[in-house]
Amino acid sequence: MPATIRDVAKKAGVGLGTVSRVLNQSPQVSDRTRQRVQDVIDELDYSPNPIARRLSLGKTHTIAVIIPFFTRPAAVERLRGITYSISGTEYDLIVANIETPERRIAAFRELARRERVDGVLIISLPFSEKDAELFIKSGIPLVFIDVNDPLLHDFNRIVVDDIEGGRKAVQHLLDLGHTNIGYISDVLEDPFPFSASRARFNGYRQALEAAGISPCPELHRHGEHSRSDAKIITAEMLRMPDRPTAIFAASDTQAIGVLETVREAGLRIPEDLSVIGYDDVEIADHLGLTTVRQLLVESGEKGVRLLLEVMQDPLREAECETLPTELIIRNTTAPPG
Amino acid sequence: MPATIRDVAKKAGVGLGTVSRVLNQSPQVSDRTRQRVQDVIDELDYSPNPIARRLSLGKTHTIAVIIPFFTRPAAVERLRGITYSISGTEYDLIVANIETPERRIAAFRELARRERVDGVLIISLPFSEKDAELFIKSGIPLVFIDVNDPLLHDFNRIVVDDIEGGRKAVQHLLDLGHTNIGYISDVLEDPFPFSASRARFNGYRQALEAAGISPCPELHRHGEHSRSDAKIITAEMLRMPDRPTAIFAASDTQAIGVLETVREAGLRIPEDLSVIGYDDVEIADHLGLTTVRQLLVESGEKGVRLLLEVMQDPLREAECETLPTELIIRNTTAPPG
DNA sequence: CTGTTAGCGCCTTCAA
DNA sequence: TTGAAGGCGCTAACAG
């Protein structure tokens, strides 16, 4: 059995309030008793029971992160940033991985409770008014990362300028001389209408329209966020009579699927088809994939920092920081053959 | 403020012991009162405060996983298995990501405490007698995943037969006719002498010796577990007067570094050099990398299951389950040019 | 400066 | 079958 504060108090011959005070660095303890207590603490290898502490303080000392498909490379990087920032604080992190709509609902209901967490980080997940209600009612501090939704004006968030990112990608293709540009994205509707995909799509459209090209609906296809779905879509695009000379994929994972299918079809990259991805995940560099880099790790770090601030001062004005994107040109894009 | 058990009791006109009983499905409550209480619970949207519950029960309801470099693909997969198995239980998961020796020590000290966790999962981390002492003294249930150390005979663990895996990899190369085979591994000593690397190395040696080849020390090099270090090592190997015709890398990540350097050197794979990795991470398939597959997700799932059992019955005999490996032949291995 | 006491919210006896 | 009381380990407010 671990020692308790009472054991320490008894052994040190002081009241347990005093022990509590040295534990919490209260200034109102004489150096002599502080030292005495500290010695006993060391001797007993005592460490306060965090659970009891939490109950007494009325705080859970835990932060939850709700993240879809946390094993995707981009999500992992965000999570990495989060764990970096959170270690060193007194907070525990619990992560809710969402892979189905049911889990999403369950997680929201479970975690929008003061009894469970002190703050919540929501990553890359679409958010409805009903969800918002849940959190507003519970009054739990909330920070969004990579959720860019007009609905969210009054919330704290770290967003990526995906419209600009999408525009940059397409502009790059345009600059190279492409006019027939396909776009492969995640599903834009249920179950997870990732707002990022939509924003990138808007960037795609904007760039095209600015160049006087009217986006052809045939060239915009979506599927599950996976290599395999991207492959299927790519194959369809390649079969089009007037097939695109370049493809912009909403993520590197999907871009890799594109590369695969194109090569299997016996076409050369970038001579026969240009491909550009999004995220700049680690392997992109190895593959020579041209892509749009976003600050994944930083987004996690900043999210935690912001959440901590909000938790400290729940009434502060909502803040929205936009992270930049950067075009990384490698070897999968070139002028059309 | 969330409702408490007292609010429910008062509103339902019962003692709060009764509410507690219906909460914990005690059979000794009449259906009528049970229903009445349940109605109030629903009405108030009451849910018991887990912290108070934990303090009262003397259990933390949390499991910790200590994992080095959890952003590496293989680690992520293990973690994924863990989160799968743990969701659906009443346990919270806290993950301690270890990237430096200091963090390792801190995490061990912090988590080998009953006050903090009910059980601990240690993944892919070397373990010393001192560490063991810490946990034995605290009496915290412990399960190792992917830690294969003779020292650990008395502990519960899920291991991979890395010796066999290493042997399979090298045997495959031998079968193709290679005799001059390089091995690139993680650092075998401090700060993290991953036992897996060593086991694979033993497999490498055994296979060679069985084939009557005495392993040349020059051909075994190690560096950090990274693409970049693997590249440096590969470059050195390629400069050797009698350079290897095949390289076995202790992980796919490192194998990818090998591929890169070889291609940069203008050599062809597999004609000029065969490469085989380990893990079969997701991208391996895209790259056509021959590799040794291990059951990453399963290892996490089984680890949790085992830990849960141990927590239920701490005195049960230690169990060690060995997971198999499988050779996955793709396009980076061929007979020597 | 320090000891004592009253909770934090829940579970679990012990009586009734 | 149920209510009341004690305690889990800690913090904070109140006396002294």
Tens of pLDDT along B150-171?
778 889 999 999 999 999 999 9
Give the whole-angstrom CA distance, residue B71 versus residue B36.
Answer: 49
SS3 B289: coil
Positions on chain C within 7 A of a protein C-beta: 1-5, 7-14
Structure tokens at A162: 């995906």
CB-CB neighbors (< 8 A) of B113 in chain A: 2, 47
Of A96, A115, A286, the CB nearest to B260: A286
Of B50, B83, B94, the CB nearest to A115: B50
Residues A80, B71: C-beta atoms closer than 8 Å: yes
Residues B71, A50: C-beta atoms closer than 8 Å: no
Computed over every residue of chain A, the mean pLDDT equals 93
CB-CB neighbors (< 8 A) of B47 in chain A: 113, 115
Say whether pLDDT at B1 is over 80.
Answer: no
Residues B55, A51: C-beta atoms closer than 8 Å: yes
- Region A142-161: what's the mean pLDDT? 90
Positions on chain D within 7 A of a protein C-beta: 1-5, 7-14
Of A47, A55, A227, the CB nearest to B55: A55
- Decide if B62-160+296-323 and B162-295 have a common fold: yes
More confident position, A98 or A258: A258
Residues 164-193 of B with CB under 7 A from strand D: none
Tens of pLDDT along B253-297?
999 999 999 999 999 999 999 999 999 999 999 999 999 999 999
Task: State residue A2's pLDDT score.
Answer: 87
Helix spans in chain A (H): 5-12, 16-23, 31-44, 50-57, 73-86, 101-111, 129-138, 162-176, 195-210, 227-239, 252-264, 282-287, 296-312
Question: From the CB of residue A111, how many other CB atoms can be counted at a distance below 10 Å?
Answer: 21
Closest of B194, B187, B181, B165 to residue B279, by C-alpha: B165
Helix spans in A45-161 (H): 50-57, 73-86, 101-111, 129-138
> Which nucleotide lies at the shortest CA–C1' distance from A55?
C8
Confidence of residue B193 (pLDDT cuts 50, 70, 90): low
Per-domain boundaries in chain B: 5-50, 62-160+296-323, 162-295
Closest of B12, B276, B82 to residue B3, by C-alpha: B12
Say whether pLDDT at B190 is over 60.
Answer: no
Q: Are strands A142-145 and A62-68 parallel, antiparallel or unpaired?
A: unpaired
CB of A90 under 7 A from strand D?
A: no
CB-CB neighbors (< 8 A) of A48 in chain B: 115
CB of A59 under 7 A from strand D?
A: no
CATH class in words for A162-295: alpha beta
Structure tokens at A336: 């059309």
Of A87, A93, A283, the CB nearest to B283: A283
Residues near chain C strand, CB within 7 A: A 13-18, 21, 28-30, 32-34, 52, 55-56, 58, 115; B 1, 4-6, 16-17, 20-21, 23-24, 48-49, 52-53, 55-57
Task: State residue A181's pLDDT score.
Answer: 97
Task: State residue B70's pLDDT score.
Answer: 86
Residues A55, B52: C-beta atoms closer than 8 Å: yes
- Report the residue of B51, B69, B252 to disrupt the A interface, i.e. the one with the largest count of A CBs within 10 Å: B51
- Does the domain spanning B5-50 belong to CATH 1.10.3720.10? no
Tens of pLDDT along B5-64?
999 999 999 988 999 999 999 888 888 999 999 999 999 999 999 999 999 999 999 999
List the beta strands (DSSP E) in B117-245: 119-123, 142-145, 156-160, 181-186, 220-223
CB of A5 under 7 A from strand D?
A: yes
Do B274 and B99 meet the contact criterion of CB atoms below 8 Å apart?
no
Of A47, A62, A260, the CB nearest to B115: A47
Give the whole-angstrom CA distance, residue A211 versus residue B114.
Answer: 64
**Sequence-ordered list of residues with C-beta below 8 angstroms from that of A185, at least 6 positions apart, any chain:** A197, A198, A200, A201, A220, A221, A222, A249, A250, A254
Residues A256, B286: C-beta atoms closer than 8 Å: yes
Residues A2, B114: C-beta atoms closer than 8 Å: yes
Report the protein residue whose CA lies nearest the C1' of nucleotide C11: B56
Task: State residue B197's pLDDT score.
Answer: 82
Tens of pLDDT along A214-240?
989 999 998 989 999 999 999 999 999
More confident position, B133 or B49: B49
C-alpha distance from residue B172 to each of B127, B166, B182, B296 (Å): 32, 10, 14, 22
Strands of the sheet containing B156-160, edge to edge, are B92-98, B62-68, B119-123, B142-145, B156-160, B320-323
Say whether pLDDT at A19 is over 60.
Answer: yes
Taking the CA of residue B74 and the C1' sugar atom of nucleotide D8, their distance in angstroms comes to 41
CB-CB neighbors (< 8 A) of A256 in chain B: 283, 286
- Does the domain spanning A62-160+296-323 belong to CATH 3.40.50.2300? yes
Q: How many CA atoms lie within 13 A of A277 on its CB side?
A: 30
DSSP B120-136: EEEES----HHHHHHHH
CB-CB neighbors (< 8 A) of B96 in chain A: 87
C-alpha distance from residue B284 to each of A111, A278, B277 (Å): 37, 20, 9
Closest of B169, B120, B164, B170 to residue B140, by C-alpha: B120
Helix H or strand E segment including A186? strand A181-186
Closest of B193, B130, B131, B119 to residue B156, by C-alpha: B119
Residue type, B332: T
CB-CB neighbors (< 8 A) of B227 in chain A: 286
> Which nucleotide lies at the shortest CA–C1' distance from A17?
C3
**Residue A141 φ then ψ, to 5°:** -55, 140
Report the protein residue whose CA lies nearest the C1' of nucleotide C5: A17
CB-CB neighbors (< 8 A) of A76 in chain B: 71, 76
Taking the CA of residue A90 and the C1' sugar atom of nucleotide C1, their distance in angstroms comes to 29
- Report the residue of A115, A228, A279 to disrupt the B interface, i.e. the one with the largest count of B CBs within 10 Å: A115
- Region B176-188: what's the mean pLDDT? 92
CB of B34 under 7 A from strand D?
A: yes
To the nearest 10°, report the CA torsion of B279, B280, B286, B290: 90
- Chain A residue with the nearest C-alpha to that of B95: A93
Residue type, A227: R
SS3 B221: strand
Residues A2, B71: C-beta atoms closer than 8 Å: no
Do B226 and B234 meet the contact criterion of CB atoms below 8 Å apart?
no
- Region A133-151: what's the mean pLDDT? 88
Tell me the nearest-neighbour CA distance from B53 into chain A, angstroms: 10
Computed over every residue of chain B, the mean pLDDT equals 92
Task: State residue A190's pLDDT score.
Answer: 58
Say whether pLDDT at A137 is over 90.
Answer: no
Residues 272-331 of A with CB under 7 A from strand D: none
Task: State residue A152's pLDDT score.
Answer: 83
CB of A20 under 7 A from strand D?
A: yes
pTM of the predicted protein model: 0.92
CB-CB neighbors (< 8 A) of B111 in chain A: none
